[in-house]
Structure 1
Amino acid sequence: MLKEIADMPAGAVGFEAVGRVDDDDFEEIAEPVLRRELAAGRKIRMLYLLGPELREYEGDALAEELKFAARHATSYERVAVVNDEDWLRPALRVLSALVPGQLRAFPVAELAQAKAWVAGEGERAS
């Protein structure tokens, strides 16, 4: 299942994958939140926590997320992926070259830093 992370900084949204994640999870949990951000005219700044409680991530769920991201590619400003799996980091480096905006991986121990980065905390206003 996907759960919305309630304690995200202003200007950012976050989701945690727990147990088994399927395509309904994205459509019912994440997509409405992301659409709300877009409807408000905001760029998407999203944190994705794939922590130790994640057991299975179905291919259909990933496909739904990728379809949404492709339709709204220019709307993503920053995405932080928080995970301790070593195999995921090289895949994220490849993916970051293919998507507009910034994509960055963080270990679970740096969750607070990931939240701050995705929200742009500490940056100067232009």
Structure 2
Amino acid sequence: MFKRIPSAPPGIVAFDAEGKITDSDYKTILVPAVDAAIKEHGKARILIRFGPEFETYTAHAMLDDAVFGTAHYTAFERIAMVTDIGWLANSMRFFAPLIPGKMRVFPLASQDEAMAWTAA
């Protein structure tokens, strides 16, 4: 599930990914939060932390992620992924050049730096 990070500055959509991320998590938590940020600010600034509490994505959630990214292709101003999980960091780095907004991967120990970068 996605859990809001309450310490995020205004205008930043920030979540911890915990347990298994499902289709419902995208449709009821992440997408509405990003859509609200886009409506309010014109673009979205997103930080998602994948720490040791994260287990996996369901196959449907992975599809949702691809559809979500395509549908919001030009709506991202900055996306920060905070993780020490290699396959997630490598996936983000692979897709970053294909997205018009700025994207960066930060290690878990640099979450504060990631939040500051996302807010800049």
Q: Is the shorter-chain TM-score for this pair beyond 0.5, marking a shared fold?
A: yes
Q: Per-residue displacement from partner, 1:38-97 (whole Å, max 9, x unpaired)?
A: 222431100011110011211211211221221111110100001111233332221101
Look up the match of 1:64: 64
Mean CA deviation greater in 73-82 or 5-14: 5-14
Q: Does 1:34 align with 2:34?
A: yes
Matching residue's letter, 2:60:
D
Runs of at least 5 residues in structure 2 that lack an aligned partner in the other structure: none
Q: 2:24 — aligned with what?
A: 24
Give how far 1:11 is off.
2.2
SS at match of 1:74: coil
Contact 1:8–1:14 (CA<8 Å) still a contact in 2? yes
Q: Is the 8 A contact 2:22 2:58 kept in 1?
A: yes
Rg larger in structure: 1
TM-score (norm 1): 0.88
- Across the two proteins, how many residue pairs are aligned to each other? 120
Distance 1:100 1:59 in 2: 26
Aligned with 2:85: secondary structure? coil
Q: Name the structure 2 match of 1:11.
A: 11
C-alpha distance after superposition, 1:18-45 (max 9, x if no partner): 1111110111111111111122243110
Contact preservation (8 Å) 2:89, 2:105: yes
CA RMSD of superposed structures (Å):
1.3
- Aligned 8 A contact 2:38 2:44 in 1: yes
1:110 aligns with 2:110: yes
Q: Secondary structure at the match of 1:40?
A: helix
Whether 2:89 is the aligned partner of 1:76: answer no
State the shift of 1:98 in Å: 1.1
Identity value in percent:
36
